[in-house]
Structures are given as C-alpha cells and as structure tokens.
C-alpha cells in the first residue's frame, strides 16, 4: 500500500510535469523522487506518467489518480485536524441528563452558550429523576447530571451548582395571595400540593421535615412528581405549593408567587454530578463551561 508521502510526491510531479522542479519544490533531490514515483507505479500496477527526455505527461490513469490523490490528502488533513480538535474537546459529543426544573433557567442558557462556543460538539439532553441520573452515570450513559442530591456513589463526584430559595405559589383567589408578609404559620391546615417522595425525595423530605419541626400541618391534597403539573394544579385553585424560585418564570393567569422567609437550610439545591474517570474531552470542556456559566448564581 502506498504512503501519504508518495501522494505528495506524485501531486508535485503531476502539477509541475517536471521532476527537477518538483524535487526543488519538495526540498529534495531528483533521484529519490524518481524512485518514489516508480515505487508508487509498481504498487498501483499502472504507469502514471509518460516520460521522454524532454517531457513528462500524465497518462489517463495518472489523470484519474491525480483527482483521487488530492481527495485522499484532503481527507487525511481533515482527519488530523478533527483528531486534534477532539483531543482538545472542541469536537465530539456529550450527554447531559437533568431534572425537569433545571430547564426553566439554567440549562437553556448553558446549551445555547455551549453551541455558540463549541459548534462542533453535539449536546444530547435527557430528562431524568435524580435516581435515574445516578444510575445513568454509573453505567456511563450520561456524561453530566444536573441532580437534586449529592452523590453517594464511589467514583461519581458532585458539587452544588445552584442554590436558590423556594417561593410560594398561591392561587390568585386565595386570601394569602393578597398578604405582603407571609410566614409558614399561615400554611397550617391550608390545602397544599407536595412533591412526590418517589421522584422528588430531596424536596419531599426537606419540606415535610420543615413543616413537622415547626408543628405546621398542611392539608396535603396531592403528591406530584412534576413542577409544571404542580403549578397547573395551583393555577386550578386546588392548593398552594413551594417551588424553586426559577420556576416562577412559568407564568399562569391565576398564580401569584410570594417570597417567604424560611428556616435556615431550606433551599433548592441543584447539584452537578459526573464520573471522575470520564475521559471524554468534550465532557471536560462542557463541565467547565457549566461551572463558569452558573458560577454567579451560586451563593
């Protein structure tokens, strides 16, 4: 099989149609160039040039090979550049999993910025619960997870990415919607929509624990696994609910969002999770991009 260097030698001779000028162009002497062309012709089993003492002319096979050789060298050059870009993380693919509430503000901003800075990185998104994400990370089906709990898995790192308060979503017709200073004592015996334990364990345990420790007993009318569905039920007047502040970007006609002072530590935490042994270069640049993009939102 011929080598790429032989293709370069051939193209130089085919362009110059003169061995002496081609050798000078290649910064080599004429005899080794002639030997390389002869070797290439032997490997191909065809004559590429018709030679006389005065002229060098491409044969029909040579003219065809001229086109093929240019294409092969171009593809080799592109392969080299793409390999270099991939090793630097500028090309490739990355899989990002996320909890639903991450899309309201954080994830769209990161994806848009990622596509702008790294247009040749394919970003695949998949919505999952926190538990499903840790399993996907363990099985290497996800590169980066946006989860609601820290990692307890060996080899999977996590750190707090966003720390935001909860806001109270209140039906517009409810009497609390008109109060300017709401406390958690106002929620006692009130109809309340809570995050489901099966899909939102961190929020469920945090909020129900807060109510118990303060002797507040809301009337839990529904346990729901989707922030959007919770807000839809609030909008229908079925009860009120705590949601992350970023969810207040979702506007409903009959919901009023109220800030409320909660005990210390009662906050909505979004964690970044990843395998420490992930050697995907695209993952590494996207991980840093996420950290830098959301750093101002961290407390």
* Per-residue confidence band for 3, with pLDDT thresholds at 50, 70 and 90: confident
* Per-residue confidence band for 75, with pLDDT thresholds at 50, 70 and 90: confident
Give CA angle at 168 (110, 195), nearest 5°. 75
Average pLDDT over residues 64-74: 89
* Per-residue confidence band for 298, with pLDDT thresholds at 50, 70 and 90: very low
Residues in contact with 123: Cβ distance below 8 Å, sequence separation at least 6, in sequence order:
93, 94, 96, 111, 114, 115, 286
Q: Specify the pLDDT at position 296.
A: 46
Domains located in the chain, CATH noted: 4-87 (1.10.10.10), 92-163+269-297 (3.40.190.10), 166-266 (3.40.190.10)
The number of residues making up the chain comes to: 299
Has residue 80 got a pLDDT over 90? no
Alpha helix locations (H) across the chain? 4-16, 19-25, 30-44, 60-87, 106-117, 130-138, 201-213, 227-235, 281-294
Total-model pTM = 0.65
Give CA angle at 16 (12, 22), nearest 5°. 50
Q: Specify the pLDDT at position 85.
A: 58
């Amino acid at each position: 099989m011929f080598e790429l260097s032989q293709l370069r030698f051939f193209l130089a001779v085919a362009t110059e149609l003169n061995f002496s000028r081609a050798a000078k162009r290649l910064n080599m002497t004429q005899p080794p160039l002639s030997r390389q062309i002869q070797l290439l012709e032997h490997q191909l089993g065809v004559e590429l040039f018709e030679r006389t003492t005065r002229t060098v002319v491409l044969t029909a096979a040579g003219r065809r090979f001229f086109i093929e050789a240019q294409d092969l060298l171009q593809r080799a050059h592109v392969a080299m550049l793409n390999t270099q870009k991939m090793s630097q993380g500028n090309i490739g693919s990355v899989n990002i999993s996320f909890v639903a509430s991450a899309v309201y503000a954080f994830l769209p901003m990161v994806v848009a910025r990622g596509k702008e800075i790294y247009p040749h990185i394919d970003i695949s998104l998949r919505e999952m619960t926190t538990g499903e994400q840790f399993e996907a990370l363990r099985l290497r089906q996800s590169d980066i997870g946006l989860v609601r709990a820290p990692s307890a898995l060996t080899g999977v790192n996590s750190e707090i990415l966003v720390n935001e308060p909860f806001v109270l979503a209140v039906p517009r017709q409810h009497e609390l919607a008109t109060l300017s200073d709401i406390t958690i004592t106002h929620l006692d015996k009130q109809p309340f929509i809570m995050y489901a334990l099966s899909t939102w364990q961190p929020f469920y345990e945090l909020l129900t624990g807060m109510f118990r420790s303060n002797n507040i007993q809301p009337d839990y009318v529904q346990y729901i696994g989707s922030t959007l569905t919770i807000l839809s039920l609030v909008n229908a007047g079925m009860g009120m609910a705590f949601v992350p502040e970023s969810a207040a970007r979702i506007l409903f006609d009959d919901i009023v969002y109220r800030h409320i002072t909660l005990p210390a530590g009662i906050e909505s935490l979004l964690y970044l999770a990843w395998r420490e042994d992930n050697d995907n270069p695209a993952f590494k640049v996207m991980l840093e991009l996420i950290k830098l993009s959301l750093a101002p939102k961290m407390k």
